Chains A and B, each alone.
Chain A
Amino acid sequence: MALLQIQEPGGKQAKPLHRLAVGIDLGTTNSLVSTSCGLRVETLPDSEGEHLLPSVVHYRKDESPLVGFQAKALLVEDPLNTIASAKRLLGKSLAELKSQHGYLPFEFDNSRDDGAPAILTVAGSKDAIQVSADILSTLVSRAEASLKGALEGAVITVPAYFNDAQRQQTKDAAQLAGLNVLRLLNEPTAAAVAYGLDSEDQGNVIVFDLGGGTFDVSLLSLKRGVFEVLATGGDTNLGGDDVDHVIADWIASQMSESTGIEIPSQARLLQLANEAKHQLSDQKVATISSEAWSVKLEESTLKELTADLVRRTITSCRRVLRDAKLAVSDIDNIVMVGGSTRMPLVRDAVAEFYGKAPLTNIDPDKVVAIGAGIQADVLIGNKSADSFLLLDVNPLSLGIETMGELVEKIIPRNTTIPVAKAQEFTTFKDGQTVMTLHVVQGERELVSDCRSLAKFELREIPSMVAGAAKIRVTFQVDADGLLSVSAEELSTGKKAEIQVKPSYGLESSIIEGMLQDSHSNAQSDMETRSIKEAQLDATQLLDAIANALRVDGELLSEAEVGTLAESIKKLESIMANGSSVQIHAATEELNQVSSEFAAKRMDLHIANALRGESIDAVEKQAD
């Protein structure tokens, strides 16, 4: 029974219950929070009127940490207790971090068992999850003060390329901040959501996200309120910072040509470069001056300087089209995200490649947060159930190690999630009772080239001959992109499963590298794979024959044993360094030579079985 609403006569109609939910763009440099204010979703400012919250946290002894502009101001003064760009530490080990960044201005906590990077501050040891949680808490307080109520849920955005570990740690940070996570949303997808609803678009949309240090491109299909991610790609080491660097180098070279100029520090050069870049967002010529010296930078010169960077973004655009099996003409809209897309030369290059002008009417710094806010409003239940739905894909293939260190892909990349896929495997040796399942992520065919996510064992498999046991392995990826794996032996129903939560994840440049490697190495992988497979077949046959000889060797004459031994020897020597074709041929030969023996064994065992004696018993006697 529905509850009756009591209304004051002549009073306003009671407002339907509006549940408070926010969208959060947890960025590397800046973070934002947004919420639905009536018809529109808007980002919320702090008490000073600032929408952007610098993602910087300053830790103090016996006092709560400072977050945002106040913390950012202390970066130079107190670098050991002030942490910026914590997002880059999420899902990484200290070892990975050190090998990639060289010098880091922190003292790390070496007592952590999990190898995760934690920074020693006056307020104790802080890892990326805690720093992220402090940023999230600040945004939550801001939203609760502005909305005058407690939040019931949040949608948090993550880069499309974030792997399982990085997504999990983002969720952990939210939990630590006391947030109920409704959904982790890919950043480019959030941007498309922002535009999709505002302009009611249909068709195929490219989201081009060029931030300070990373580049992401995604292809989405929008139709009747359903957003479907068809493919994602990008370059994790490409962004506006690279543009600053090429301009800084150019300024330095201009300075060195004029006499009597002392070239300033790299930091000062980068500052000059950044100013010039911003001038060129709405002017054709920028004036760069340092003390008495000055030079003009024309847009055409900047275009030459950045030609290579821009070309790299366009290469990723091409690749995403290929992955989705679409042509340039199939693209209806291009959404621009990230401060670097304010550069006219970037917009021009994108417009030229797609043959149409990109959408730029939402602030490219806020568009992701706005999309997250819209999604939060839907998920918390403020919008009716027939409003839009978002279908996402998994960015990297997931698979399992099979014999010979090969990867069997279970869920290929760009598969729509959630997804569950099952595949049957079998035992490799007679009497094998334990199977180790090694879960990996990546595009290459060899385990050593992919990322190890987890290892677990299925035990108590009933003892059978090789190949007789049936083990079904099921991969389940949920809507947030998190994986769980289970294995079941089908005759006994014995089960083992694991929620994949690796202690730390992949450096995103490694993911990028893995994607590229998979293509450039496809050829050599294939030959390696066929050799490994041939070796495997050979090993299995050799094992079977050795076993048979041990049990029923007396069935053969001395001459027969000799012939067999010769073929075995031949196969063993070819196996070591022959080609796949040679190994196959030798295996086939041994198979022929041993077929007589196999027939004799079969006859004997059938005869024994008919006598009422089990084969098992015969084998035991022979032992």
Chain B
Amino acid sequence: MRKAFVYRYHTSYMIAVLTILSAMFGRGIHLVLFFLPLFMSYIFRLSGRVVLRKREGNIIAGIISIVFIPLFFSKDVFVMALYYLLGLLTLKLFVSFERKDYDHVTLLGFLAFSLSTVFLYSIWYMLLFLVFGTLIAFYLFLRIVPDYIEITGKSLNYIFGTFAIIMVFSLMLFFLLPRNPYMLFGMNVTQASGDFGELEVGGLAKDALSSRVLLRVKPPDKQNNFIYVRSRVFVSFDGAKWSSLENWETGVRSRVIISENPGMRTMRFRFFPAVRFRYVPLTEYPVLLLWEKGRFAFNRNLMEVRIEKRPVKMDYTVFSTPLPNIPLTVKMLPEYLEVPESVNRYLRNIINSISFSRDTLGSIIDFLRKNYKYGRFVPEMDTIPSIVEFLLYKKKGECTEFATAFVLLARMLGYRTRLVVGFLTKEFNPVGGYFIVREKDAHAWAEVFEKGKWVRYDPTPSGLFHVNLIAKIREYYDYVQYLWFTRVVEYSYRDQMHVALKIMPYYWKLRTVRAGKLAGYIIVALLLLSMIIYRLYAMLFISFHKKALRHFFRYMKKNGFVRNRGETLMEFAIRSGDKRAEEFVKEYYEVKYGGKSPEGLKRILKSF
């Protein structure tokens, strides 16, 4: 009785622990605070001590309710409601613990687990799913087991083995369940990162320090050790802030297709759904964009792409070529020469100090790299624009400052220039054959309009981007993550159809006579093989007394006796009236249950 109870206990305990884990992975450490009492109450219950009285419990419940009221007005109302319920349940566990509470813990644990799917997309979810699913099944099973039955180690193995098989089948079903290309009712997605409406000087590095993977870029052929991913283009600058062009919408088309380009290469992008961009990241310049779920707005003049309706999930293919000839004239781009007046005079002084060579833009870059250092820049002076502060006083800055300085200096010299924000990554995963773009890879550079196309100039000192020497294991882990995202998390109606269309030809081939016959032969051969294996197993691994029993049955059958259903061996032997048979059964029981050596049994068998 005690043992079964302890198992029940551990189920709930484990569920609580897993809920904590899921919460920790998903929403941060603050959730632990809600589950800590749950933990403690279990520990106290295990030691058999009552922690709170009913009255004290009620008082604390009141306090919790008051504390939770402002929290209810936060973004995730349902999540907060769940935590509130969990908090109250925790209190109940403190005060008194009944068997019904296990049901509550399980149910709430399951709800928390389901909720965690909203924000927990990492591969850890899989582990959590396997453990949680097994525990739920075990809990449901324990509900029908009477308390007085002890569950021993061996039967536990069988139980968990069965549950493991159930889990495997559920994973198989996961791929078969029909996906829906449409949505019945939508949700507004409020979360959006990587959305730079404006960019302050010194602002890029401030926000982008984590090593969270944002996207993976899989180029058809790896040409360089690095890859630039464009995200957002800025044109006008007021001395401290960059902002995009106001008349952005001009020349917007829903879809642009330039076909028959011989130098076409495909860039395939994969997104982490946890992070959503307003602007589609691109490598170099897109020619054709294919995406099924939403629409892209494509500004051909600026070579910029923007999503019109922000989707929940993005998965698109970009066909990109070396820069095409664009019918764009210099006259069309007056705003790319604008320099704010507050900066103008300072820049003129700087230009005077630059020793220009034939390559004007190259000499600006050389000047910047020689006289300025790479490092953290924080604007402190209010009296002058921050870019001037960088150029004249601090002389130390990051990519945004270098790029801004370059853009402004180039504009002073009459070059049509703009600032591009995106990512520069050197992290290539050879296992999966893709570049990994992390949050900390955020970068800014300049683009200059030369001979009808935009050309990239990166003034930031090179070699300062650290190359990640990732361990081989980490590469594999990332590849597993990549597979998880592409094959599981983003598995869609389209993928399902793709697989089905791949399988169909084989199916039709099988339907023809020859293939059908072949399949038949294979099945028969497999059956025969399994029978042979079973026989071999029976010959090699079955103990002697079992073999002897088979021999005994054969002998009795020869004499015309067949054992009835429900008849014990002894009854059978007595019914036959054969004394040797009785002797055999006695000896058989001795060998089977008494641990006697089977020599007596052999002797009797010989006499048959």
Partners in one complex: no
